[in-house]
Amino acid sequence: MARNDLTDLDAKAQAVILLARGTNSDKVGETVGVSGRTIRRWAEAPEFKAEVEAARRALLDEAVRALAAASRDAIATLHAALTDDSPNVRVRAASVLLSSLPSLTEHLELSERIAALEAAIDPEGRNAA
């Protein structure tokens, strides 16, 4: 389905996607043909909330995958800039690369610690996401 083509979906399914994208309830209602109040009422239902959250997670996962794919090109560009003729370009590239290391290292360490805690809580992996 195209990113903006929601016409094949019913009003609630359209609302889930639009809310997940960050559209306000009045605009969602206008788009799907119901009132903003109806959207807010739907949004109070646990099942509907869960669907919006799942759609948000899917959008975020898609964005992370796209950033991860682009990061290889970005790193290659910065790496190439380290040998640029301009000292300013070389210093800036080195600075960007070096300043990224602490947050990347912290993220990796936190991910490993969380995985270890989850394994300790549920050693058989029964509640794995």
Domain coordinates in residue numbering, the chain: 1-72, 82-129
CB 15 within 8 A of CB 32: yes
What is residue 129's predicted lDDT score, i.e. its pLDDT? Answer: 55
CB 69 within 8 A of CB 58: no
What is residue 123's predicted lDDT score, i.e. its pLDDT? Answer: 80
Give how far Cα 55 sits from Cα of 21, 42, 66, 81, Å: 8, 15, 17, 38
pTM: predicted TM-score of the whole model, two decimal places: 0.63
What is residue 101's predicted lDDT score, i.e. its pLDDT? Answer: 86
CB 81 within 8 A of CB 90: yes
